[in-house]
Amino acid sequence: MGNYVNGEFVEDGKKTELVSPADGSEVATVILGTRKSALEAIDAADAAFHRIWVKTSIGERQRLLAKLASLVQDKSYDYARMEAANTGKTIRQSTLMDIPLGISHIEYFANTDEFKFSREITHPEYPDTTGIVQNAPMGVIGSIAPWNVPFLMAVWKIAPAILAGNTIVLKPSHHTPVTALMLARDIQDAGFPPGVINIVAGTGSEVGNTLCTDDRVSMISFTGSTQTGKRIMGMAAENLKKVTLELGGKSPNIVMPDADLDHAAKGILFGIFLNSGQLCESGSRLLVHNSVKEKLIKSMKKHLQGMKAGNPLDMETEISAITTRDQLKKITDLVDEGTTQGARVVFQRDIVEQVPENGLFFPPTILDDVTQSMTVAREEIFGPVLTVTSFSSAAEAIEMANSSKYGLASGLWTRDMKAAREIGSQIEAGTVWINDYHLLSAAAPRGGFKKSGIGRELGLEGILEYTQTRHLFLNEHESDFDRVAYGLIMSDE
């Protein structure tokens, strides 16, 4: 699989074999692009923006996005199979969630009527004039995506940026570039003009840094770790690029004493064990009222025992692999540190005999007796590990939830909808699910508070992130105010 630059597939770069973390089988041979590849993609995007794309109508952009959604739909099983093989997530998840969700999100941007290029305003100080505020595109967008949900990330980076009138160079993770490169073929077949969308797989040091430092790139959209986000922000500051960052999370799931505990148990497990916890907004911190903690843990254990382990490429399997060996080591080290600091393992599935010998796996794990000072309560594990801390009042739960340096998402479980609104509105997070978790709508903005990021993706807010406002001040003729204003520096003879 080559990179996609200026409407063509190119093979300039290092040929790399990718193997599946699910079972060690060979997935694909990809070309990892270089700084030269990135510069050529920027050249193409810059030319396409000024010559073609900025002049297209919103309707034409949406027509092409609709065509793209249709083409992907026709190959949805192929996308699902390759997404699972490349990332190690279950094919069940990629088939029933990731790929269909991505297609529906392309369709959302292809059909939304919320985004307007301009609106008319009045100037109350100058009644004889009119104002037009335009949402003008930024230009060339450099987008850098993570390895955990590569297809969804490609959709989220491309669709709103393109709809807003920008061109783009997308750098998928060099660990999981396969479905983004597959998408390039459908982008070509959909009829997007050459250079509008460019996809270059490669490392951060080669491709990512080039995007962040080239003057022709007007904006960087990054999803990944907080530490990398800080470095990207520093590079972008050198030439004053706009930056949006969707970064780490340590999201709390709060269970009130009146919650439907069986519903909450299933939702909490979905919140942390989907994709083996390798999602930025995973609900990794369970904050539960002390009166229902034991009953809730008992219910969770029952459901966890029934989760099917096996090869994630088998449709019956429900436990995903860990996508990279480095991530597996990080999870292992953090759990070891947690138990050393006093956390107690109250559940850990034995899956060794059920999963492929050559796969990368960490067993679903629950750590109880976790205090706020422990590393596992403060740092993002990004794996299938749930920490449990109890509270005695709503005020204490809110304080615990907000004690994190992160603020990406939260869950809240209660039957009292009035209290849910009140508590939810006090949680410092970009998304608060009430009696649910992980359900993403293309119409809803997604992003974080505090060290979880800057800016938003999806929804109208996500489109507007890719724009800059221009104000046209229209005056048809000289007015009395003009005469007064001009008289401040010149007398009327």
Please confirm, yes or no, whether 280 is among the known catalytic residues: yes
Catalytic residue of the set 40, 212, 280, 380:
280
Domain residue ranges in the chain: 3-247+452-473, 252-434
Contact partners, residue 145, CB within 8 Å, separation at least 6? 153, 154, 157, 170, 171, 172, 173, 180, 223, 224
Task: Give yes or no for a contact between 365 and 345, defined as CB atoms under 8 angstroms apart.
Answer: yes
Which pLDDT belongs to residue 371? 97
Question: Alpha helices of 52-132 — where are they, by DSSP H?
Answer: 58-74, 76-87, 91-93, 99-111
How do residues 444-461 score in pLDDT, each as one tens digit? 999 999 999 999 999 999
How do residues 37-89 score in pLDDT, each as one tens digit? 999 999 999 999 999 999 999 999 999 999 999 999 999 999 999 999 999 99
DSSP sequence for 165-219? T-EEEEE--SSS-HHHHHHHHHHHHHTPPTTSEEE----IIIIIHHHHH-TTEEE
Give Cα separations from 109 to 28, 68, 461 (angstroms): 30, 11, 12
Q: Is the pLDDT of residue 493 over 70?
A: no
Three-class DSSP category at 399: helix
Q: How far is CA 374 from the centre of its chain?
A: 27
Whose CA is closest to 86, among 26, 143, 132? 26
Q: Is the pLDDT of residue 443 over 90?
A: yes
Which pLDDT belongs to residue 492? 67
How do residues 91-109 score in pLDDT, each as one tens digit? 999 999 999 999 999 999 9
Which pLDDT belongs to residue 480? 87
Distance, in Å, from the CA atom of 81 to the CA atom of 58, rounded to the nearest integer, reads 33
How do residues 464-481 score in pLDDT, each as one tens digit? 999 999 999 999 999 888
Architecture of the domain whose range is 252-434: 3-Layer(aba) Sandwich (3.40)
Distance, in Å, from the CA atom of 411 to the CA atom of 334, rounded to the nearest integer, reads 23
Q: Is the pLDDT of residue 185 over 80?
A: yes
Q: Is the pLDDT of residue 488 over 70?
A: yes
Architecture of the domain whose range is 3-247+452-473: 3-Layer(aba) Sandwich (3.40)
Same fold across 3-247+452-473 and 252-434: no
Where b means 16+ CB within 10 Å and e means fewer, 127-158 reads: eeeeeeeebbbbbbbbbbbbbbbbbbbbbbbb
Catalytic residue of the set 40, 83, 107, 246:
246
Reported as a pLDDT band with limits 50, 70 and 90, residue 491 is: confident
Contact partners, residue 475, CB within 8 Å, separation at least 6? 126, 128, 129, 482
pLDDT, averaged across the chain: 97
Average pLDDT over residues 238-244: 96
